A and B are shown apart, each in its own frame.
Chain A
Amino acid sequence: MEDFRAEVEGQRAYLLRYARLHLRDGGAAEDAVQETLLAALAGEKTFGGRSNLRTWLTGILKHKIVDIIRKAGREQPLPDGDDGLDALFDARGHWIDPPAEWRGPDASLETQQFFAKLEECLGRLPAKTARTFMMREHMGLETAEICKELALTPTHCWVLLHRARLALRECLQTNWFSR
């Protein structure tokens, strides 16, 4: 029991990093992690060493995060925000600045600086866009599930996901791959 508590506690920093990627409000991220740790300690028997502890805890945390996002959405619906992405294409629908090939993208995945830049780029997205995108790409939820949790139509969901990709691509192009 004490060992389990210590092991669970040992994952706190990891879980907090995870939660902060999804919740911009640091207090909300702390709450999600705290609730996860409590639920984990109460549910030691259900864990029973079946899977990797971190994976199991992350599974609980995802639910807590989605709960918080859902509740926050009910209280104050967020506007999408004007992200200026329409300016990427001209009136005829052509790229104004067509994406050029990125040199050595895989090598970027080996560096901390790249991930720091990626987080910075995520931080510039409008809140609702970032949230939807992270539920899709970081949590790996299906679009249908995200739409349901956020009370969005599938079309709206796809639009937000696409806008997130356009914006992140631009941001990395400018701030990382053009160095």
Chain B
Amino acid sequence: MIGWLKCRDAARLASQAMDRRLTLGESAALRVHLSICEGCTNFRKQVEFLRAAIRQLGTRDP
């Protein structure tokens, strides 16, 4: 464990979790941070929402 994460690093890890497998240490630190930080929890939900939205972009006929 590398100590408490700052929001800047937690947001970066939440984002990278969508692109690569986090190390055990990273994912544990992120979990702890998210459990106490509403801003970063919202950030994580929102980047997941973004993924879903982007996937739908251009799929409907206007």
Answer whether residue A137 sits at the interface, using C-beta atoms and an 8 A cutoff: yes
Majority SS of interface residues in chain A? helix
Alpha-carbon separation in the docked complex, A109 to B47 (Å): 14
Known A-B contacts A93-B6, A137-B50, A165-B50; A112 and B62 likewise in contact (beta carbons under 8 Å): yes
Contact of A162 with B49 in the complex, beta carbons under 8 Å: no
Total interface residues in chain A, CB < 8 Å: 39
Answer whether residue B34 sits at the interface, using C-beta atoms and an 8 A cutoff: no
Contact of A93 with B20 in the complex, beta carbons under 8 Å: no
Alpha-carbon separation in the docked complex, A105 to B47 (Å): 12
Taking residues whose C-beta sits less than 8 angstroms from the other chain, chain B's interface range is 20 to 34
Contacting residues, chain B, for A95 (C-beta < 8 A): 7, 11, 39-40
Answer whether residue A35 sits at the interface, using C-beta atoms and an 8 A cutoff: no
Contact of A98 with B16 in the complex, beta carbons under 8 Å: no
Which residues in B have some Cβ–Cβ distance to A below 8 Å?
A: 6-9, 11-12, 15-16, 18-20, 38-40, 42-43, 45-47, 49-58, 60-62
Which residues in A have some Cβ–Cβ distance to B below 8 Å?
A: 13-14, 17-18, 21, 89, 92-95, 98-102, 105, 108-109, 112, 114-115, 118-119, 134, 136-138, 140, 143, 154, 157-158, 161-162, 165-166, 168-169, 172
